[in-house]
Amino acid sequence: MQKRMAFLLLPCGAALLALTLIFPKIGFLEWIAAFPALLFLFGKKPPEKRVFGRYYAYGFLFFYTFYLVVFHWFFALYPMDFAGVEKSTALFLVIFFWLGLSLLQAVVAAFVFPLFHLLSTTRLVRRVPLLTPAVFAALYAVFEWLQTLTFAGVPWGRLSLGQSACGVLLNGAAIAGSYLITFSVLCVGGYVAFAVLHLDRVKIAAVCALSIFLLNVALGGIGYAAAQPKGKESVKVAAVQGNLGSSRKWESDSRAKSLEIYERYTAEAAVWGADMVVFPETFIPENFSAETPLGKYIVRLAVTYRVTVVCGAFEDTGEAQANAVFAVFPDGTVSETVYRKRHLVPFGEYVPLRGLVETLIPPLADVGMLDDDLVAGESSAVIETPAGKMGTLICFDSIYESLTRDSARDGAEFFVLPTNDSWFLDSAAATMHLSQARLRAVESGRPIVRAADTGISAVIAADGSVSSVVPALTEGMSMGEITPTTARTPYTVCGNWLIAFFLIFLLSLPAHTLLCRRRERD
């Protein structure tokens, strides 16, 4: 019976959580989405033998389901025209990435369940059962944070993304980061499950759930109010979306078409009065310098139309190529500061453990469009512009909050985000990637100008709201006004203090048990 309940409730709760990330318009359901899974986890009686292994299996079932749903968009990559592989190989690679990345995340995340069981048996939790939901929520938040620390952890499915369309509920991230939202969401669902399992404590569980929700609303309101433009003058910006994806960039006529499209929209932006025009990540896959044809083209646009042009292109560093962003000013000068992408895409821009991969799975090593690995940047490289100090993120960078936080600390007053989402087509991944950028804007309290090759381009305000959105697979231009700011959010100043608090809380539980046992022995 317990196995049947596990196979019913755990995948159900995992899938519901994942769906709120894919469809943020139903994000309000995320607050109770984990209820089925937590109902099983909190109410389950521990098996007599192999407790750790059993709970790990439950955790694996939950998280593998969760990530299979979150990463379903890998099928949008088929037939992988951008990689130039046969359809049979493309199908193998799509399934491999879908199952493999989900497996990689689930294998680590599954430890949350047995660790939760161990902590729930400590004396303090047994004495105060109301701590149970908080223990699970804190563990889950710590796991999300751990995902940001290595290339193997991909924080694509953080629960805070489910609140990206829920107004002020997202803005609590300005106070304590995305982990506040993760903790709050799971606590509310956890206390609902706790109330069902402990009918004699329904009132106190309801009070806990409501208090945590209202606290999140209050902190979100504070973050939202602080993010409203004030002080500096606004700047008119435009993000051009040429709709020429990766599969077309290397075609013979692609370069001429790109040059025509991007100049046409730059001219339109100049007529509108734009101070800055942003082009996508490697919108033309060539090296940029003041002497290259691409560099001369961008300089001409900046001088002719009297705008600052920010573009993504390759940079020849001498030893290797970098995926970089350059800024050219209306007087034709090229900024000496160049931003280089800090988080490269595994198997897209470089191959981890290349020698081993080439030996065991050769097609996996050949999936990228580049012959050689790119070199990653190491600094925030804030660029001085007429509009203010500009921080930069490139594509994959935007899912790591530490990069935005570092740039804001280094003086960035606004961000540009050139990206290439063309392999996502118009799948849910394009929307999820935009949601990541909205979260970064809230955390840093900085507006972001997002220019995507094939979408979704948008101007994102410091409160996470979007305007002038250009949908996926559409040629167009996003135009809007941003207000650069030097104000710092509490999260920018203090960083992940909430994670430190969670770790202290979790470690204090076994420490308290050990201390009690020692006192009893004495």
247-295 pLDDT, tens digit each = 676 676 788 899 999 999 999 999 999 999 999 999 999 999 989 999 9
Q: Are 65 and 10 in contact (CB under 8 A)?
A: yes
Note the pLDDT tens digit of each residue in 317-341.
888 889 999 999 999 999 999 999 9
Residues 453/262, Cβ–Cβ less than 8 Å:
no
Contacts 24+ apart (CB under 8 A), 514-518: 516/123
Top pLDDT among 349 and 472 is at 472
Which residues on adjacent β-strands are paired with residue 237? 276, 480
Q: Please tell me the predicted confidence (pLDDT) of residue 446.
A: 96
Q: In the prediction, which pLDDT does 245 show?
A: 78
Statement: residue 352 has pLDDT above 90: no
Taking residues 471-486, report their average pLDDT: 95
Q: Is the pTM of this model over 0.85?
A: yes
**pLDDT tens-digit profile of 423-444?**
888 999 999 999 999 999 999 9
Which phi and psi (to 5°) does residue 413 adopt?
Answer: -105, -15
Domains of the chain, by residue range, sit at 2-226+495-521, 235-342+377-488
3-state secondary structure (DSSP) of residue 65: helix
Helix (H) or strand (E) holding 395: none
pLDDT of residue 194 exceeding 90, the answer is yes
pLDDT of residue 371 exceeding 70, the answer is: no
What pLDDT, on the 0 to 100 scale, is given for residue 354? 61
SS3 for 204?
Answer: helix
Q: Return the percentage of the chain with pLDDT > 70, whole number.
A: 91
pLDDT of residue 361: 60
Sheet strand arrangement including 476-482: 339-340, 321-328, 308-316, 276-278, 235-241, 476-482
Tokens at 43, concatenated: 């109410």
The 10s digit of each residue's pLDDT in 292-323 is 999 999 999 999 999 999 999 999 888 888 99
Angle between helices 497-521 and 178-197 (to 10 degrees): 50
Q: Is the pLDDT of residue 357 over 90?
A: no
pLDDT of residue 51: 86
What DSSP line would sit under 161-182, residue for residue? Answer: GGGTTSGGGGTTHHHH-HHHHH
Give bridge partners of residue 480 from the DSSP assignment. 237
Question: Residue 172: what pLDDT?
Answer: 94
| Average pLDDT over every residue of 79-95 | 81
Mean pLDDT confidence for 453-463: 95
Query: Residue 48: what pLDDT?
Result: 63
How far is residue 321's CA from residue 418's CA, in Å, rounded to a whole number? Answer: 17
Q: Mean pLDDT for the chain?
A: 91
Q: What is the pLDDT of residues 5-37, one digit of tens each?
A: 767 899 999 999 999 999 999 999 999 999 999
pLDDT at res. 229: 83
The yes-or-no verdict on residue 518 having pLDDT over 90 is: no
> What's the pLDDT band for 370 if we cut at 50, 70, 90?
low
pLDDT at 392: 97
For the chain, what is the largest distance between any 2 Cα atoms, rounded to a whole number of angstroms?
84
- Beta-bridge partners for 277: 238, 309
How does pLDDT run across 130-186, given as a tens digit for each residue? 999 999 999 999 999 999 987 667 899 999 999 999 989 999 999 999 999 999 999
SS3 168: helix
Nearest to 247 by CA among 369, 396, 97: 369
pLDDT exceeds 60 at position 374: yes
Domain 235-342+377-488 fold? Nitrilase/N-carbamoyl-D-aminoacid amidohydrolase (3.60.110)
